[in-house]
Amino acid sequence: MGIKKSPLYCKPKKNIIKKQKELRIRKKIEDISGEHPYYGYQSMTAQLRRDQVIINHKKVLKIMQEMGIQGRVKRKYIATTNSQHNNRIYSNLIKDREITGINQVWCTDITTIRIFSDFVYLTAIIDIYSRKIVGYAFGTLSPKLGITALNMAIATKKTDNLIHH
């Protein structure tokens, strides 16, 4: 037909323009991510659109995944301790004490466990030396919950010269 082969292997300029556009978008995403580390792909898409970049959220997600950019979850700080009270403050008996064996110091903590649409509370008493639970109790939040866990721990372990911290 008299046609040379070289034009058949030449890439059209559209691909070059597309690649340049994607590089600009990648740079823009990287800049926005540095400025706003909590942005996920939806917030990133909204910011790009505010900056007059027309792009689909799926494309932004794909680019962010390829670049390894992931929005950090911003957690709200909730204070759980009330230090502004008129109750007696006890001294720390284990501050300078060396713990050499089990059943010398026990420590208690309470946590919530979500079940369906409600919460149940777990109180656990742990031996500081062995890091094993010596007593526990489930129930509603009340003083009886801690006492039940303490009674369980005392019933199962020898408690001579013990500090319950």
Distance CA(132)–CA(149), nearest Å, equals 14
Output the pLDDT for position 12: 62
Query: Does residue 110 sit in the same domain as residue 160?
Result: yes
Query: Does residue 159 sit in the same domain as residue 109?
Result: yes
Inside any domain, residue 125: yes
Output the pLDDT for position 17: 76
Inside any domain, residue 149: yes
Output the pLDDT for position 32: 92
Inside any domain, residue 75: no
Residue 159: give the domain boundaries. Answer: 105-164
Q: Is the predicted pLDDT of residue 14 greater than 80, yes or no?
A: no
Output the pLDDT for position 72: 77
Inside any domain, residue 157: yes
Inside any domain, residue 86: no
Q: Is the predicted pLDDT of residue 162 greater than 90, yes or no?
A: no
Q: Average pLDDT, whole number, for the chain?
A: 87
Average pLDDT over residues 68-95: 82
Inside any domain, residue 41: yes
Q: What is the DSSP letter of 87?
A: S
Task: Render pLDDT for 125-156 as a digit per residue (tens, 0 to 9).
Answer: 999 999 999 999 999 888 899 999 999 999 98
Number of separate domains in the chain: 2
Give the pLDDT band (50/70/90) at residue 11: low
Inside any domain, residue 87: no
